[in-house]
Amino acid sequence: MNEHDADLALVQRALSGDEGAATVIYSLRPMLVHHLTSRGAPHGSISEDAVADFLGDCFGARQRSSRASTDRLLELYKGNGPLIAWLKTSCWNKFLDGARGITPSPLPDNGEYEGDPDADQTAVSAEPEVIKRIIAALEYAFSEIDPMTLIFLRLVYLEGVSQVDVATVFGCDESTVSRRLDQGLITLRKKAETFQKQKAGPFEVEWTDLLAVCQSPPGFIYEN
């Protein structure tokens, strides 16, 4: 069984009209907005609208161009990698195309945002030492997040629980959940950066390194 079969099943349910599955995907909107801004997209309505448009296009909100093979971008996801990695890459790809005024081209399923036709569709090569340092930084960052925020992050982004359901279970409003998620992602990034600055020897992280980590997530991310 493919380790990403659960992601593929979620996408297929969402495309078939399962509102719960679609809600799980739409609940990733704050993380996608953060992903755009963390890569240099403007904060505020520009990135928020770009993500809203992207998620709409995932479900066929706009008629496809002559270059696209489907009205619904989600149909391009084939389960060859983590869904969240595919969504981030595809959203960024679409944002760049929109910023250039270019009609978006079909988005890759392997997380390669440059659209290399010769790219390996199942695995991404990366330097082992770089991967080791990225994982060490992430482990430190996860250990520095307060327990409640960590629970929210895991429920929403790993287990696919909607923010509405999380808010109901924990007796708070949805805005509180959303705020904790945003703060948690910011903390993860800052703590990981701090960890790396404390280590001897600078190193450069490439996009393929991050994709390699996404394809084989370290076990501590899923630990209770």
Please report, for the domain that includes residue 159, its CATH number. Answer: 1.10.10
Tell whether 22 and 63 lie within a shared domain.
yes
Q: What is the pLDDT of residues 161-206, one digit of tens each?
A: 888 888 888 888 888 998 999 888 898 888 888 888 887 666 676 6
Whether 119 is covered by a domain: the verdict is no
More confident residue, 27 or 123: 27
Tell whether 95 and 10 lie within a shared domain.
yes
Gyration radius (Cα) of the chain, Å: 17
CATH no. for residue 18?
1.10.1740.10
Give the count of domains, the chain: 2
Tell whether 11 and 92 lie within a shared domain.
yes
Decide if pLDDT at 219 tops 60.
yes
Sign of CA dihedral 154, 140, 207, 46: positive
User: In whole angstroms, how far apart are CA 170 and each of 23, 31, 106?
Assistant: 19, 21, 40
Residue 166 domain boundaries: 128-222
pTM score: 0.45
Whether 158 is covered by a domain: the verdict is yes
| Cα gap 192→138, rounded to integer Å | 6
Whether 110 is covered by a domain: the verdict is no
Contacts of 189 (CB under 8 A, 6+ apart): 38, 141
User: In whole angstroms, how far apart are CA 54 and each of 1, 22, 73, 214?
Assistant: 30, 14, 9, 21
Whether 206 is covered by a domain: the verdict is yes
Tell whether 45 and 81 lie within a shared domain.
yes
Q: What is the pLDDT of residues 126-153, one digit of tens each?
A: 567 778 888 888 888 888 888 888 888 8
Whether 12 is covered by a domain: the verdict is yes
| Cα gap 81→61, rounded to integer Å | 25
